[in-house]
Amino acid sequence: MTLASLLRFIITSVYGAALLVLYTYVVIIIIAHKKSESSFRSSFYKLFIVGFFMNMMTYFNSLISLRLPQSNGINETLSNFFLTHNEHNMEVIFPVKVFHFLHYYFAYAQYIYNFFISLNRFSLITNPIKSELFWRKRFWWFVFAIFAIPWAFAVPILVGRSYYVYHSHGDYFFLDTTIKRSLIYTILAPTLSVITAMNSFLNFMSVRKVIILKLSGGRVPEKNLLQMSFVIFFIDIFLVILTLIKAIIIACGLSFKSESTDEILSWIVILIPFASDALTLTQPLLLLFFSKTVRRCCIWPFPCLKSLRSHRLIARNSVLVVRPFGAPTITG
């Protein structure tokens, strides 16, 4: 393992563990305060909790499919495991193929999930009265779509056989399959691009509606959560760009054929884990940043933070807003 690989693994492991704990804590707080905070009963926060379980599975699966292989060289502790699970060994028991399948499955699931987050914000801004009713009636259908649709795109990997390959130039391992990688990326890159384009449209229309509401003196419902979805959207775009570049290199058969393409792939190998972590683990940070209600509820159990409860960035606002299902309530 090179010094750069070791540092990358240590850094990603440290902040990964911290964000996993924070993510879990924020979800526990949301569930615990559902009765006292009416906003936590909305479809957005239900989607957030669904996203928590999806992102947890994504992260732990990536340890086997991405992080550990990329962090181990030919002389490292796990190299024997990766070398044993090679293209020619037909007797391995460890289900590498399943983890390889899940690697791409969760990539599709995350983008579909983020699309529904954007759709949720768009529907609330354009039609705040009927939006929540619409989402409550169809919520489990949306959840089903998040986890069912990716099967259609990722299932080709289950047809083939997956194995680890050693990349001598970078001194790391990566997962490959007997199914052509060009086929995988021919499906992956356009699909993620289309979903991102749809996200772009929804976010553009949401911003347009926000501007119209502001100019007319109207109130923008939960604008802070729209801003959160915007940040996630830009992370989506960055990952799509990396995927498209990798897809073009693979489709043109240029992988490991020249120093320039090898250098590009090396940078993609470095950037993808960080970009993937941003997509998978930053949602609790974004929610804490954009939601005063979540901040207030999260610091409440800590006596040492009692002095912050009255801070303007934490304290509840005495502002009356009309919720979709009843009388005015106080929000924060």
- Distance CA(271)–CA(288), nearest Å, equals 25
Of 193 and 329, the structure prediction assigns the larger pLDDT to: 193
Q: What is the per-residue DSSP string for 197-261?
A: HHHHHHHHHHHHHHHHHHHTT---TTHHHHHHHHHHHHHHHHHHHHHHHHHHHHHTT-TTTSHHH
What does the mean pLDDT of the chain come to? 84
pLDDT of residue 191: 95
Residue 194 has pLDDT above 90, yes or no: yes
Sign of CA dihedral 203, 53, 272, 176: negative
Above 60 in pLDDT, residue 255?
Answer: no
Whole-angstrom distance, CA of residue 35 vs CA of residue 71: 45
Residue 91 has a CB neighbour count (10 Å cut-off) of 5
Amino acid at 157: I
Q: Which run of H or E residues covers position 181?
A: helix 181-215
d(CA 197, CA 205): 12
CB 191 within 8 A of CB 236: no
pLDDT at position 187, please? 92
Q: Are 51 and 113 in contact (CB under 8 A)?
A: yes
State pLDDT tens for residues 66-121. Answer: 989 988 888 888 888 899 888 887 666 678 999 999 999 999 999 999 999 999 99
Q: Name the pLDDT band for 323 (thresholds 50, 70, 90).
A: very low
Query: If 0-12 CB within 10 Å is exposed, 13-18 middle and 19+ buried, where does residue 159 land?
Result: exposed
Q: For residue range 166-176, what is the model confidence (pLDDT) as tens digits?
A: 988 778 899 99
More confident: 204 or 251: 204
pTM: 0.86
| Over residues 149-175, mean pLDDT | 90
Q: What is the pLDDT of residue 315?
A: 52
- Which pLDDT score, from 0 to 100, does residue 24 have? 97
Q: What pLDDT shows up at residue 198?
A: 95
- The predicted-structure confidence for 262-297, as pLDDT tens digits, reads as follows 777 778 878 888 889 999 999 999 999 988 889 888
Question: Is 60 exceeded by the pLDDT of residue 39?
Answer: yes
pLDDT at 134 exceeding the cut of 50: yes
More confident residue, 204 or 226: 204
The pLDDT > 90 percentage for the chain reads 42
pLDDT at 223 over 80: no
Rg of the chain, C-alpha, whole Å = 22
What is 36-279's CATH topology? Rhopdopsin 7-helix transmembrane proteins (1.20.1070)
Residues forming a β-bridge with 313 = none
pLDDT digits (tens, 9 = 90+) for 19-37: 999 999 999 999 999 988 8
What integer is the mean pLDDT of 166-190? 87
State which amino acid sits at residue 46: K
DSSP assignment of 39-92: GGGSHHHHHHHHHHHHHHHHHHHHIIIIIHHHT--TTSTTHHHHHHSSTT----
